[in-house]
Structure 1
Amino acid sequence: MQQMLKEIIKETIAPLYKAKGYKKRGNNFAKDCGEFALTVNIQSSRWNTADEVEFTINTGIFTDKLFGTFYDFAPPQFPTEVNSVLRQRITELKNIPDHWYKLSSDTNIEELKKQIEADIETVIFSYFERFNSIDDVIKEMEQYEEQGKYETPHFLTILYHAYGYSDKAKKRIKESYKRAKYDSQKEYTKELAERLGIS
């Protein structure tokens, strides 16, 4: 079944992304949009066996502004979903309970391929069409925060600072410091402020 997954990625998934200008590395796809990159990861379940394989599709928006600030190392040469903001699984984008694609001896492979194609074309590509500029990314992150969706609060602070919204960045980092419950959180927030040049 693992070989079948490789074939689905190669013959069904990869051509869809490559047609849209994405590059591929392993089970990751990325499209450079200038100030950010659109990222996709095909994630296999850790519980897969020889007879049954489960996998899902994760998406994200990658920005190198998090590196040297939030991440204390240089950005990877290939943008990945795991180091992205606005990370969303396909089921979250469809607003349904978490569900993984399954491959087993009972799977109708052609029907599964059709489902994957439909999810990529009508859900993921439609979602990514929202992002034409870094301001679109920032606005989406603000909306997520308003809706109470989890996103590391420092990510938005860093983007505010990087793209000229210095007053918003200062306000957020002060609020983060006040809300910090532990000394380690306060120390990290102070360290981040120093990296950003915020007093």
Structure 2
Amino acid sequence: MSRADYDAWRRGRSALDRTDDPAKDVYQRILRDEIGPALRAVGARGSSGRFAMPSATHWAQLTFQKSSWNEADALAFTINLLVIRRDAWASIVARDPWMGKEPSATSHIGPPAAQTRIGFLRPAGTDHWWELTTGAPVEPVLDEVMSDIFCLALPWLDAQTAALGRP
């Protein structure tokens, strides 16, 4: 995944208009109509803000997280990333069955997982949350999110999958 994938996404779509829809509706719509299809076009599986790159040996997840402080006219969100070998996850679940059959990028797992929030991959290296506000332009937010997904998040998932190696 690369800048070329991001550029292809930009070329293949129409800009979004400003809307007076509630921020939560705009968020759901961009996940469903923009982000989901773009991620599936590069091989990801998933929907509703939870996506995984296919791998027989690793869980490589990209999960959207909404702030718990959202209001009707403003919604903040970020993206969590996780890579863990499937055999390592199976060992964790054997020890702690309550962890579930697959990991969640929004839960802290610790080693042997590689986890981060997308903001820490950005040049500033700090946590980053985007905000959608009712009546505000959507396009600049979506453009920045997609650039970070294609140019930062997906390459990080690939690099971590390679770094964690084969089982």
Please indicate, yes or no, whether the TM-score normalized by the shorter chain is above 0.5.
Answer: yes
Per-residue deviation at 1:86? 1.1
Is 2:127 aligned against 1:98? yes
Contact 2:31-2:48 at 8 Å conserved across structures: no
Q: Partners of 1:76 and 1:22 in 2: how far apart?
A: 21
Is 2:96 aligned against 1:69? no
Is 2:164 aligned against 1:137? yes
Is 2:111 aligned against 1:89? no
Return the structure number with greater helix share: 1
Per-residue deviation at 1:7? 0.6
Instruction: Report what 2:72 is aligned to.
Output: 50
Per-residue deviation at 1:37? 2.3
- What is the aligned length? 138
Q: Where does the alignment leave 5 or more consecutive residues of structure 1 unmatched?
A: 139-158, 164-199
Instruction: Report what 1:39 is aligned to.
Output: 61
The runs of 4+ residues in structure 1 deviating greater than 4 Å are 74-79
Q: State which structure, 1 or 2, has the greater radius of gyration over its C-alpha atoms.
A: 1
Amino acid at match of 1:41: T
Q: Partners of 2:65 and 2:57 in 1: how far apart?
A: 26
Return the structure number with greater strand share: 2
Q: Partners of 1:47 and 1:6 in 2: how far apart?
A: 17
Q: Secondary structure at the match of 2:31?
A: helix
TM-score (norm 2): 0.71
Q: Which one scores higher on RCO, CA 8 angstroms, separation ≥ 6?
A: 2
Instruction: Report what 1:121 is aligned to.
Output: 150
Distance 1:16 1:108, change over 3 A: same
Contact 1:38-1:128 at 8 Å conserved across structures: yes
Q: Partners of 2:58 and 2:98 in 1: how far apart?
A: 16
Q: Where does the alignment leave 5 or more consecutive residues of structure 2 unmatched?
A: 1-22
Q: Partners of 1:120 and 1:29 in 2: how far apart?
A: 12
How much is the aligned-residue C-alpha RMSD, in angstroms? 2.5
Contact 1:12-1:117 at 8 Å conserved across structures: no
